[in-house]
Each structure stands twice: as structure tokens, then as C-alpha cells.
Chain A
């Protein structure tokens, strides 16, 4: 019998590897284009990808989070304050800080709120973002209040000053690649644990899984990843301002992840790419884009749970199965492959 050959599959899958490759291509943008528009779009997409990875991590455990803007703000302001007050300009040190501060804040919060179930968790993350938004306005001594923080010196890397548009895009690409690797590492290493929590938490607990520990771990890493997106955003805008982290913008990041497809890391990438591009193309600003994303989320949830990536993947499978059936291959093989996650 072959069952002893079972290994715990925790290596990155094709979806995760493809994600890292696609994100790595962002480094090529400065070499193939001079257009400010392209730079700006690439920056926005990269930030959106990083932020929606934060949503993606929590969705692995069937938890919806509205706290992404809050943790982005913590990361962004951590960068701004460290840069202005501490004189730190090294990009790697700043990135580590932008990850660590939100993660440290998320740890005790996670222990408290992840004992809540489903909808209560969602509500608390939403309130959290509202509270942080208020705090940013009410602590002008630290955050500059409604003026925000400006005048951060350009970041540096190994003595290089990253002060032009290329440099800013380079930082965003580096942060996104790091976020991709962190997300891929976490979700593939704990794939079985997260999937068990997503599908049947009661059973997982009764088999001995300490579920809240994994949820807190996911929440902490998701917060850190969001913080890196906040760093990239503040670095792009040259200002840390509360309006960049409005509570309602959480809908965008949820939209990117769900419309793109929550089943694979490619989902947030495709969703961010398409939706940020479309938002720019049609110049849909502010409330309208969120309204549109809301409608799209409803459509996806009702018609195509796997989002764009999930729909394309199932179309591909149907196509290959159709061809294979014609070729007379045993249908059992096709059925087995259909159950393999992307």
C-alpha cells in the first residue's frame, strides 16, 4: 500500500511561484518605459497587490478583514516618523520597520479579537480602522494631524539614493516582491492548517489543532504585509496623510482580492492589475470606484466564487477534460486533476 509515501505538502505551488515571477517583472518597467503615467500606474498596482495580499492571507482562513488601511497607516507613518525623527533612510531597515510595527500592534489585538467569530471579527476590524483614522487626526504632535507628515528625505539602498521616479518604483517593486515571498511562504507552509480552519474549524480543533494560534499568526503577518504597502504608498506620495488610509479604502483591497480570485495568490495580482488599471482608464474616482467594486464583489460572490482567476482556471480544466474525454482517457484521471488546487 502506498499511503506511507505521504509527505506533508508545504512547498510553494505553481500559483505562488508564478506570482513571484510576475511581481519580479515589475523591476523591468523602468528599463522599458520612461512614461510617468506608466510609472504611476505600476506604483499603484504594486501597492494594491501588496495590500490585497494582506486580505488574501486572512481569506485563507475565511476571515474578512477591513483593517488593511489601519495597518498600512501604521507602516506608512512608521516610515515617515523614523525618517523624519530618526534620520533613517536605509530602505531595508525602513521596510523591516514598516513590517514590524503593524505586526507588533496586531499581536495583542489578534489575541483579543480572533476569538470572535465570523461577522463580529469583520465588524471589529472595521471599527479598528475608524479608530486609527481618528487617532491620526487627533495626535498632531506625532502624526502631523490633518496636515500629515511631509519632507521625508529620499530612501537609500547600499549608498544609492532612490530619489527619482525610477527609484520610487524600484522601492515599490522590492517591497511587493518581499510581500509576495512572505505571503507565499506563510500560506504554503501552513496550507493544510489554514485550509482546515477555512473549511471546518470545529473538526480541526477536535483533532488537536490550536486554531487561534494560526489565526493570530496569519493576522500578524497580514498586518506586516499591509504595513509594507503603507510604506510604498507614503514613499510614492511623498506624504503621510490620513486621507491615504481612509477606512472606506479597505473595500478596494477586499475587492482586488475577491474579484481577482481568493483561491490563489494570482487572484490579488490579477484583480489589482485590472481594477487599478480600469480605475485609471475611466478616471473613476473616489466613491464611484468603491461602488463599482461593491457591485463586482456581489457579482463574484453570487456567480463565480473563485473570482477571475478561479473562473479562468475552471474554464481551462473544462476545456482539457473535454479534449481528454474525446481522446478516450479515463474520466477518473480528469476528475482527480480537477480537484487539484491551483
Chain B
């Protein structure tokens, strides 16, 4: 892993996210330590791990909500560690939320309009969204209040709000959590679409292993704040220590 980091510094392209040995602590509590990763445009990276492994905190640190205790985050070659959420968002690094997260009393249209306006988007941003709105059955519901939508559509709207800002890097925090089986394929559609146009690099934190296998050519496993394994999903998920980490977690929950 450390050897990789050295190689990474050599060139840094537009829209590349590089996380270099970041650590996070809350007081004396260590959440994760020495996590490094790299995402190029159109890369899809899955991050999995048992509950409490530090996955959501990792997203919170990368997107600027929390400042890392150590380490650096680079976006397109520039060191952006400790920059605020809105600054990073305007640079193209945008996250989605684990819970449904919309402007509740605003209509779907107003929600999207705000996302485009706040990110200084244009009519082009609307055009880019048409296909996804159609596919998620949201184009007929543009004038509905967003918190009146079914749960699944509220989650999809949350993803679309992030997408509407025309991001370069998307951080998706459990996009499929709480969705029914049929609805989960919409997450696949969304990820493929964002990968193709505008060519996002995408980091997905998720518990749905099938979804991870379908979407991610590369995954990272976090366990108790450290990197346990990294590689193609089939290879990583058959590793003994990875299975133990998950089975162990299940055992602990059962007790």
C-alpha cells in the first residue's frame, strides 16, 4: 500500500481524488488511521466494512465536513485538506447522504433547481438530468413536495441533487440502504450514468454485497478503522480475514 502512495504522487490529473494517509480521531477515540486511496475519472471504488468501521466518517472527512487529524486530501492535484464542504463541492467533490436528505417542503423541481443554482449550473445541467428523471419516474412528479415522495424516490432525489451539481467526484454513502430489491437497480443505473456523463469518479460505501460486486471493479475493506484488504471484489470477498471480520461482526451483534 505504501509503495502505491509513492507512485500516486507522480502525476495528478483533472478530477482525480487522492487521499493520502488520513487519520481521524474523536478525542482519544481513533476512528480510522492511515487510509489512502486514489480515484481517477470514471473509476468506481467500493468501500465496505462492518458497522462502526469508519466508512461514513471517511466520507465526512473527504468531503470537508470534518478535518482530518492527520494526512491529506488532494483533488485534481491540489491539497484540499481542511477546506470547507461548500468549497470542495464547488471544486466538484460532492457527497450524498445515508438518510433521505432533500429540501423537504420544496418541490422536486425546486430541489433540483436549488442544486443547479447553488453549484452555478446552467440549462445544460437540466438537460443532462432528463434521462435519469424519466428512468426514476420523477419527471411526472416534478411539482410534488419532496417529502411526500415514497422513500425510495426520496433517496433517488438525494442522489440526483448531488448529480445536478455536475460533480467530478461523487461520494455515495449507502445509496441502496432502505431500498427494495427492484429499486436497487436504479442505483446501478445512476452510477453507470454518472460514470458515463459527466465522467465522475465514484466512491460507494455500501452494505449490499451484490450491488458492490455488480458495480465496483475494485473494493476496499475497512475494519475497526484500518484497511483490511483491497482489490477486485471476488478476490477480496473470498479472503479468510475479510469473512472473519464480517462473520465476527455478526457474532458480536448476536450476542
Q: Which residues of A come within 8 Å of B, CB atoms?
A: 1-4, 6, 8, 192-193, 195-196, 199-200, 202-211, 336, 339
Contact A199 B143 (CB under 8 A): no
Known interface pairs A207-B115, A208-B86. Does A3 touch B103 (Cβ–Cβ under 8 Å)? no
Q: Which of B89, B106, B142 contacts A195 (CB 8 A)?
A: B106
- Residue in chain B with minimal CB distance to A191: B110
Known interface pairs A339-B105, A339-B145. Does A3 touch B126 (Cβ–Cβ under 8 Å)? yes
Residues in A with CB closer than 8 Å to B165 are 207-208
B153 to chain A, nearest CB (A): 16
Contact B109 A199 (CB under 8 A): no
* Most A C-beta atoms less than 10 A away, residue of B86, B139, B144: B86
Residues in B with CB closer than 8 Å to A339 are 105, 107, 145
Contact B90 A208 (CB under 8 A): yes
Contact B94 A206 (CB under 8 A): yes
* Most B C-beta atoms less than 10 A away, residue of A1, A204, A207, A336: A207
Contact B139 A206 (CB under 8 A): no
A25 to chain B, nearest CB (A): 32
Contact A8 B113 (CB under 8 A): yes
Residues in B with CB closer than 8 Å to A205 are 84-86, 89
Contact A203 B97 (CB under 8 A): yes
Contact B134 A203 (CB under 8 A): no
- Residue in chain B with minimal CB distance to A339: B145
- Residue in chain A with minimal CB distance to B91: A208
Known interface pairs A211-B86, A339-B145. Does A204 touch B101 (Cβ–Cβ under 8 Å)? no
A92 to chain B, nearest CB (A): 35
Complex Cα distance A6/B126, Å?
Answer: 9
Complex Cα distance A208/B115, Å?
Answer: 8
Complex Cα distance A208/B101, Å?
Answer: 15
Q: Which of B119, B139, B144, B161 contacts A203 (CB 8 A)?
A: B161
Complex Cα distance A3/B138, Å?
Answer: 11
Complex Cα distance A211/B86, Å?
Answer: 8
Complex Cα distance A199/B104, Å?
Answer: 7
Residues in B with CB closer than 8 Å to A200 are 101-104
Residues 128 to 147 of chain B near chain A (Cβ within 8 Å) = 129-130, 133-134, 139, 142-145
Residues in B with CB closer than 8 Å to A203 are 97, 101-103, 161
Q: Which of A4, A207, A211 contacts B114 (CB 8 A)?
A: A207
Contact B89 A1 (CB under 8 A): no
Known interface pairs A6-B113, A336-B143. Does A208 touch B89 (Cβ–Cβ under 8 Å)? yes
- Residue in chain A with minimal CB distance to B103: A199
Beyond A3-B129, A205-B84, 9 extra complex contacts between A and B, CB < 8 Å: A3-B130, A4-B123, A192-B110, A195-B103, A204-B118, A205-B85, A205-B86, A206-B85, A207-B89
Contact B107 A206 (CB under 8 A): no
Contact A210 B139 (CB under 8 A): no
Complex Cα distance A203/B165, Å?
Answer: 12
Complex Cα distance A4/B126, Å?
Answer: 6
Contact B142 A208 (CB under 8 A): no
Residues in A with CB closer than 8 Å to B104 are 199-200
A209 to chain B, nearest CB (A): 4
Q: Does residue B30 face the partner (Cβ distance < 8 Å to A)?
A: no
Known interface pairs A3-B126, A4-B123, A195-B103. Does A207 touch B109 (Cβ–Cβ under 8 Å)? no
Contact A3 B145 (CB under 8 A): no
A-B contact pairs, 9 of them (CB 8 A): A1-B139, A3-B139, A4-B127, A199-B106, A206-B95, A208-B90, A208-B94, A208-B118, A209-B86
